[in-house]
Amino acid sequence: MIDVEKYEPDYGDWHEFYTPISVCVGDLYTDGWFDLTEKSWDFPKYSEEQHARLCEKILNHFWDRDIGVLPPGLWKRKFLEKLREIMPKYIPMYALLAEYPNLFNAGTEYYKARTIYSDFPQTQLGGNEDYASTGNDIEYEKIKQTSILELQDALKRYKDVDEMILDELEELFSCLISVSINGR
């Protein structure tokens, strides 16, 4: 009888084994090569807090995914190039969210109107020689409180800025998931 244990390679935990033709982000991070906190991995950011949160999301989201370009040095260049291209359009969105963090709560509309009656030209309205006999300026604000159903609907459609960035980075990773089988 053959001792199967003798011929079984020990890969430890399942996530530590990878084929020689694929390189996954988790392995690159574990080996110390993929470190978004290191200066050579720097890309445009809104704030240090936003940058740290995004880096953590990138690592967690793509941990088990293979990089889409080999060798890893070329992939790093493509990865940073992509982030440098897309971040300028997302930084203003981060700024807007920082200024108005509670976008789902309420809507505010401002209205301003002027009613002018001109029977006889008596009062000058401005420097352009417009005259009126009487006039009313009306200003008001309308605040709309969102219902729970509207909020639920909005949350289903909402995509976080970090999530939009992750979606744009998808093209840099392999979409194939391969099964590794030891050839017994």
* Cα(53)–Cα(49) distance, integer angstroms: 6
Token code pair at residue 44: 């445009």
Percent of the chain at pLDDT > 70 equals 65
Q: Point out the least confidently predicted range of 24-33, 40-49, 117-126.
A: 117-126
More confident residue, 158 or 162: 162
pLDDT at residue 44 tops 80: yes
Q: Enter the pTM of the model.
A: 0.65
Q: Which residue has the higher pLDDT, 27 or 126?
A: 27
Cis omega before residue 88 (within 30°)? Answer: no
pLDDT in the model for residue 14: 40
Residue 17 reports pLDDT greater than 50: no
> Is a pLDDT exceeding 80 seen at residue 64?
yes
| Residue found by looking up tokens 């976080």 in the block | 160
Instruction: Reduce the secondary structure of the chain to three states and give it as a string.
Output: CCCHHHHCCCCCCHHHCCCCCCCEHHHHHHCCCCCCCCHHHCCCCCCHHHHHHHHHHHHHHHCCCEECCCCHHHHHHHHHHHHHHHHHHHHHHHHHHHHCCCCCCEEEEEEEEEEEECCCCCEECCCCCCEECEEEEEEEEEEEECCHHHHHHHHHHCCCHHHHHHHHHHHHECCCCCCCCCCC
Poorest-confidence range of 1-15, 47-61, 70-84, 143-157? 1-15
Structure tokens given for 156: 């289903």
Closest by CA to 141, choosing from 117, 116, 106, is 106
Q: What is the mean pLDDT of residues 22-51?
A: 93
